[in-house]
């Protein structure tokens, strides 16, 4: 501690990660996923809607999220818009998550998604209307932190997606 006192803390060191909120400005949808999460299941809660994400495993954030978008969402993305490099749980973890927004078009959905076959992810892909995403963010229905941050970033950085629509 700053005063020299030594205290015990437990840290989880699981590397760093990356996440993306893909959105289609023409069809006015975004892509989210859900998958079984032990903590959520243990709490008896329904699956979380989440942004596409994955651990870096020694790969650059940009390369890794392009792979994850294809594996989890069947989606081809290329132009990444950085949002932030956030601490996911700073009191207990060394993990940082690089967050991105990425535009896509209908023709960029080139596979079914669902996750890598050897990773037992059991992912379900959802295309959500942008108005529904905004409403979920404003009403507190997005309970996954990275996804909420990305939805808020989309609202703030691209207000033209909602202009004259309320």
**Residue ranges for the binding site for Mg(2+)?**
53, 68, 72, 121
Q: Phi-psi category of 67—alpha, beta or left, where left has phi over 0 and alpha has psi -120 to 50?
A: alpha
Which residues does the annotation place in the binding site? Answer: 53, 68, 72, 121
Inter-axis angle of helices 145-157 and 130-139, to 10 degrees?
A: 120
- For residue 100, the surrounding DSSP H or E stretch is strand 96-103
Of the candidates 121, 108, 14, 96, the residue with the CA atom closest to the CA atom of residue 57: 14
């Amino acid at each position: 501690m700053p005063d020299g006192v030594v205290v015990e803390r437990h840290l989880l060191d699981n590397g760093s990660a990356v996440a993306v909120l893909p959105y289609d400005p023409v069809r006015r949808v975004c892509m989210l996923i859900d998958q079984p999460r032990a903590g959520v299941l243990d709490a008896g809660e329904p699956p979380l809607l989440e942004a596409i994400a994955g651990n870096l495993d020694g790969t650059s954030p940009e390369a890794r999220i392009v792979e994850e978008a294809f594996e989890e969402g069947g989606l081809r993305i290329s132009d990444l818009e950085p949002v932030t490099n956030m601490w996911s749980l700073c009191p207990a973890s060394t993990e940082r998550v690089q967050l991105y927004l990425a535009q896509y078009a209908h023709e960029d959905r080139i596979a079914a998604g669902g996750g890598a076959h050897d990773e037992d992810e059991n992912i379900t892909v959802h295309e959500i209307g942008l108005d529904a995403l905004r409403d979920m963010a404003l009403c507190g229905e997005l309970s996954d932190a990275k996804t909420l941050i990305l939805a808020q970033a989309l609202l703030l950085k691209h207000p033209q997606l909602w202009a004259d629509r309320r």
